[in-house]
Chain A
């Protein structure tokens, strides 16, 4: 029984890890608590629903169109809202508040058009595979597979020159600019990549369990928790955080009840803030370094 729950936990952790990598890309690089990321996540599910199920386009074209639109959405949020605020304010508090505004706007726009009820992408029973006593569905395997591909390309990317530049920018943006690199390009890049990661996680999860307008907020919050648990400013940390959350979730479901999952996950967050605010992989920073 526990092994089955653990496998389920790992499958959902894979999707969370994909989403959390995107959230962490933005947070680590710009210090924005990009809450509107949740709205991008939600939009992706509705877009694929619209293209694939309503317009009946082929899956691959629906996917590409969804990726294109979420990228444009993410870039417009950056250009229309964050950029003028970045120029005006020193701290990221205004950006956080504006991000709530963007989130509320997009979510309510979606709810107005598509309604609040839960929608399902794949009717019928999902194909399952049995390994010993453990059963996994095809879509869960796709999720794990997608995670492995994202993980490999992400880790490889972090070791290229661009990856190094990104990490340099996150530690000292002014120095990077002084060295002649264009900060706008870095920002465009992370906003596009993060939105596509959100879309990948969102689409797979929509095929798996369905969606409604509020799915995004839960994911962005769990991504933030994964980042804090793993350690802020470290690009690999949200993956570790996501798997800790996934395993914790399966233990809670096994021992207590699925109802109390949220309570314990956020209790874990508070415990980390209390005893190890730097996260598992985190280093201690000086006061001035914490922007």
Chain B
């Protein structure tokens, strides 16, 4: 039973994480390679606040979101003035810098040793300390984030983002400051990634920098492209594929030593086929131009 709970919790956390890229890539048309960095900042900020300052989980999440959003401006404000590839490069640079700080600033993050013993979230005297209780928390968070994202993309703001994705020059001729909208969208993405990171840290209770590498960011772009982006359902399909495929491979009895490699190779293969034959992904709306 705990195994099923674990899978459902991971689906909840990853659906939040993937939506963080969806708002940036699917709605605004910006490929970001720093989502794993924001996820990591969220995880580390929450873990360190809870351990060092005894901050309650829910307050720690809020502070982590603020920190992550502020850091996201370092990437977005300089690079979103520039076109396409430069933005991708800036996010990539940021991802590597953050990973290297998590890995090397041993005094703060314990570097490669990671942070063990992260406490469980707590409300009043209720502790979300086992999978069945944590599932309630992660599900509430996942539903809430998906719902909020649905709301903000249904109003005019969401329409403007989609129009920027389709043709930025047209939107700017209507007097909209497209750069500002892109910066806001990117910071929302960063904040959502921080929520996913906070949940992840308190669920697994141990984090180290290897969960927040460039490869993780690249994998996220891959999965989102497979599931499809630019609506709410595509990323959920992506999440299910990401979490359920390894379980499926386990039933096929592929040896563990190569299962991880086979899994990534399958994602990569599906990604390329999707890009060639079905650009909007399995259930998405956004087609790269």
Contact = CB atoms under 8 A, between A and B. Distances in A.
Interface of A: 31, 33, 81, 84-85, 88-94, 96-98, 100-105, 108-109, 111-112, 217, 221, 224-225, 228, 259-260, 262-263, 266-267, 269-270, 273-274, 277, 287, 290
Interface stretch (B77-85, B132-140, B200-208): B77-85
B120 interface: no
B275 interface: yes
Interface stretch (B41-49, B57-65, B97-105): B97-105
Contact of A96 (B88, B262, B269): B88
Contacts of A85: 275-276
Contact of B264 (A97, A108, A260): A108
A90 B287 CA distance: 11
Contact of B85 (A33, A90, A270): A33
B222 A91 contact: no
B31 A97 contact: yes
Contact of A259 (B104, B214, B275): B104
A267 B97 contact: yes
A280 to B, nearest CB: 16
A105 B269 CA distance: 7
A105 B96 contact: no
B131 interface: no
Nearest to A93: B288
B94 interface: yes
A60 B216 CA distance: 39
Contact of B221 (A84, A97, A263): A97
A221 B92 contact: yes
Interface string B255-289: 00010111011011101100110010000000011
A150 B93 CA distance: 28
Contacts of A262: 96-97, 100
B50 interface: no
Contact of B89 (A84, A112, A267, A269): A269
Contacts, number: 138
Contacts of A81: 272, 276
Given A81-B276, A108-B264, A267-B97, 10 more contacts: A81-B272, A92-B84, A94-B275, A96-B85, A97-B222, A100-B271, A105-B268, A112-B262, A224-B89, A273-B79
A63 B225 CA distance: 38
Contacts of A259: 100, 103-104
Interface in B91-135: 92-94, 96-97, 100-101, 103-104
B59 to A, nearest CB: 30
Contacts of B279: 88-89, 94
Contacts of A267: 93, 97
Interface in B206-244: 214-215, 218-219, 221-222, 225
A225 B85 CA distance: 12
Given A91-B84, A217-B214, A101 B271 contact: yes
Q: Which 10 A-B pairs have the closest CB atoms?
A: A105-B268, A112-B261, A266-B93, A101-B271, A274-B78, A108-B261, A101-B268, A104-B268, A94-B288, A91-B289
A97 B275 contact: yes
Given A100-B222, A108-B268, A109-B261, A263 B275 contact: no
A233 B260 CA distance: 39
Given A101-B222, A260-B104, A273-B89, A221 B258 contact: no
Contacts of B83: 287, 290
A270 B91 CA distance: 9
Contacts of B271: 97-98, 100-101
Contacts of B276: 81, 84-85, 88
Most B C-beta atoms less than 10 A away, residue of A100, A105, A109, A260: A100
A260 B221 CA distance: 27
Contact of B218 (A91, A100, A225, A274): A100
16 contacts: A31-B85, A93-B84, A100-B271, A102-B272, A104-B267, A112-B262, A217-B214, A224-B89, A225-B93, A259-B100, A262-B100, A266-B100, A273-B89, A273-B90, A290-B83, A290-B84
A221 B93 CA distance: 9
A270 B73 CA distance: 12
B150 interface: no
A274 B79 CA distance: 7
Given A101-B268, A112-B261, A92 B85 contact: yes
A97 B262 CA distance: 19
Contacts of A266: 92-94, 96-97, 100
A178 B78 CA distance: 38
A104 B264 CA distance: 7
A263 B215 CA distance: 17
A273 B264 CA distance: 32
Contact of A108 (B74, B85, B265, B289): B265
A225 B97 CA distance: 13
A145 to B, nearest CB: 31
Contacts of B262: 108, 112
